[in-house]
Amino acid sequence: MTRTHLLGVLAMAAIVVASNILVQFLFGQWLTWGAFTYPFAFLVTDLMNRMYGSSAARRVIFVGFVVGVVCSLIGTQIMGEFGPLVTLRIAIGSATAFLIAQLVDVSIFSALRNGKWWRAPLASSLVGSSLDTALFFTIAFSSALVFIEPSNDVSWANEVLPILGFGPMAPLWVSLAIADWGVKLALALIALVPFRAIVKRWQQGREQIA
């Protein structure tokens, strides 16, 4: 594994673990802090895909996935002020959503990689982010899946409220998911700036070596 691949793995693992912890803390009324960190996982994947190909991107995903799962499981054993730093449901939801969404991201990026530079990272991140949000919040907080971790009280996430404070009535976690999805879409657009800059610098470095 090259130094660049190792950096990708470490970045991916750090994002997953940090997001698993931060998703349990609200930022305002409808957002969790995890909404601001997790979308960068797609930036890491897309950079690896653009620079080293889909196989390299999948390797980073799988290794980052394993490291992230191990660290998250360790987090389930560390008690914080309000319980484990990472609940089992959040660990399972994060792992499931991460793996599926990231692999879909790679497939879409690879299919569009020969088009305009922004099309592949934007389309893959938008689809991957949408899939990730739907899977994660359903697994982590839906009352229908309480059997996953019966001891974990998710009643707070299932309090029925107007969606985002003004829509139809739904569990709180639905509003959190919608707000999270909106942030991910916005960050997918913003991430095009560092994506373009890093890839351009990498290309210039290759030209100088050649």
Task: Give pLDDT tens digits for 80-128.
Answer: 666 777 788 888 988 899 999 999 999 999 999 999 999 999 999 999 9
The alpha-helical segments, DSSP class H, found in 3-39 are 3-22
Read off the pLDDT band of 3 (50, 70, 90): low
Number of domains in the chain: 1
Closest to 180 (Cα-Cα) out of 188, 192, 168:
188
Pair 88, 76: CB distance under 8 Å? yes
Q: Which residue has the higher pLDDT, 16 or 44?
A: 44
Q: What residues contact residue 76 under an 8 Å CB cut-off, 6+ apart?
A: 84, 85, 86, 87, 88, 91
Q: Which residue has the higher pLDDT, 134 or 203?
A: 134
Per residue in 29-62, pLDDT (tens digit) is 888 888 888 889 999 999 999 999 999 899 889 9
pLDDT of residue 1 exceeding 60: no
For residue 137, the enclosing domain spans 3-209
Closest to 101 (Cα-Cα) out of 129, 122, 62, 61:
129
Read off the pLDDT band of 210 (50, 70, 90): low
Return the number of other C-beta atoms located less than 10 Å from residue 186's C-beta. Answer: 12
Buried b (16+ CB within 10 A) or exposed e, 12-41: bbbbbbbbbbbbbeeeeebbbbbbbbbbbb
Read off the pLDDT band of 144 (50, 70, 90): very high
Q: What is the mean pLDDT of residues 163-185?
A: 92
Please report, for the domain that includes residue 16, its CATH number.
1.10.1760
